[in-house]
Homo-oligomer: A and B are copies of this chain.
Amino acid sequence: MFELLKTDPGSKARLGRLTTSRGTIDTPVFMPVGTQGSVKALDPRELLEMHTQIILGNTYHLFIRPGLDIITGAGGLHRFMSWEKPILTDSGGFQVFSLAKIRKIKPHGVEFRSHLDGSLLFLGPRESMEIQRVLGSDIAMVFDDCPPHTATPKEVRAAVERTVRWAQECREQPRAKGQHVFGIVQGGSHGEFRESCAKALVEMDFDGYAIGGVSVGEPEPEMMQAVELTEPFLPATKARYAMGLGTPAQMVELVARGVDMFDCVLPTRVARNGTAFTRKGTYSIKGGSYKADFRPIEEGCRCFACARFTRAYIRHLLNVNEILGLRLVSIHNSHMYLEVMEEIRRHLGQGTFSEYRQKFIANYIPTQKVLATRGQTLVRGADE
């Protein structure tokens, strides 16, 4: 399924290609998140125009609404949402452990109450794989136990053991035609847990491996560490996916640490508050200084929003709550994420990734929030 085309001499970065029955995916790749069957505010045409190769869907959310009957009736998730390219589905493990109310962990899964209407539901390896089979995703994820950042070592150990046992159960379930399955490595920031979890999963020979238990509230250094502690135990011949990450600068750094695949809600989530991602960091288009700024969101950007509309116009739309405002920022941000990945692939191909990485990180000003987790404070204004 995965072809390793080139490895960067100055880092662990890799240029690769994933093959699915719905087409190939050049890696490193960013996957826009379509949790509930729609990448928020965007339509499939817009996603194709920004060269989206694969999107994410979510087992937990789609299982609750619209439910499997509807998606079966539609002929699977691709046809339901009118998206012909590959889809990766998350297993629902993360949501069960973060969203659901009153959960009870049982040997073969989790009994929980729907975050929506409180109804009693059960998700485990068998159920999750069955749902993902019905959704018909091109890449399914195993059902894992994803503990919070605050979990004790004992809790993390139990989560790893459960994750490994459930991965084996997932491995044995039937799959949709052509469906690949990725294992998920848990283990928090504990090297020994990461190692044992990775080794046990590699033993089961999955089609790819995800690093889970990140994007669960941990500081940036711990997140980087979790990846560094896991990567050495993952086979070079399989794709590696860092779940739920990150900012553009974090993605560049994670590529340098050997990660091939990313998904993140940030580009569309912050867009709805009027925050734009640029190569210099983020800024709020709602800011008064953009009132009469007739430049595009990011100068030099070729996205649909930047090709036609100004900051002044988009700021006005956001101020008067016009839907087009958040649509345009969502387009720009998603395009920016995808374009950074395109640039990374080009530089990996040309052997200039180290220079690209250095320049990107030097230009990119992280948010106060990210800096705080590094123990740093901001020295320059982030608003360009």
Contacts and interface: CB of A to CB of B under 8 A. Distances in A.
A306 to B, nearest CB: 11
A327 interface: yes
B41 A324 contact: yes
Interface stretch (A234-242, A312-320, A340-348): A312-320
A73 interface: yes
A368 to B, nearest CB: 28
Given A65-B320, A291-B66, A319-B65, A74 B327 contact: no
A43 B324 CA distance: 7
Interface string A323-338: 1111110000000000
Contact of A312 (B41, B44, B74, B317): B74
Contact of A38 (B41, B42, B66, B317): B317
Contacts of A69: 292
Contact of A316 (B66, B312, B322, B324): B66
Given A37-B316, A38-B323, A65-B319, 12 more contacts: A36-B316, A41-B323, A41-B324, A42-B324, A43-B324, A43-B328, A61-B320, A66-B319, A69-B292, A74-B294, A74-B312, A80-B312
A312 B38 contact: no
A310 interface: yes
A311 to B, nearest CB: 11
Given A320-B36, A323-B40, A323-B323, A310 B74 contact: yes
A321 to B, nearest CB: 9
**Identical chains bound together, number:** 2
A36 B313 CA distance: 11
Given A70-B312, A312-B80, A327 B323 contact: yes
Interface of A: 36-38, 40-45, 61, 65-66, 69-70, 73-74, 80-82, 291-292, 294, 304, 308-310, 312-313, 315-317, 319-320, 322-328
A325 to B, nearest CB: 8
Contacts of A322: 36-38, 40
A81 B313 contact: yes
A40 B41 CA distance: 13
21 contacts: A36-B316, A37-B313, A37-B322, A38-B317, A38-B322, A40-B323, A41-B324, A42-B324, A43-B327, A43-B328, A44-B308, A45-B304, A65-B316, A65-B319, A66-B291, A69-B292, A70-B292, A70-B312, A73-B312, A74-B312, A82-B308
A263 to B, nearest CB: 18
A312 B66 contact: yes
A201 to B, nearest CB: 33
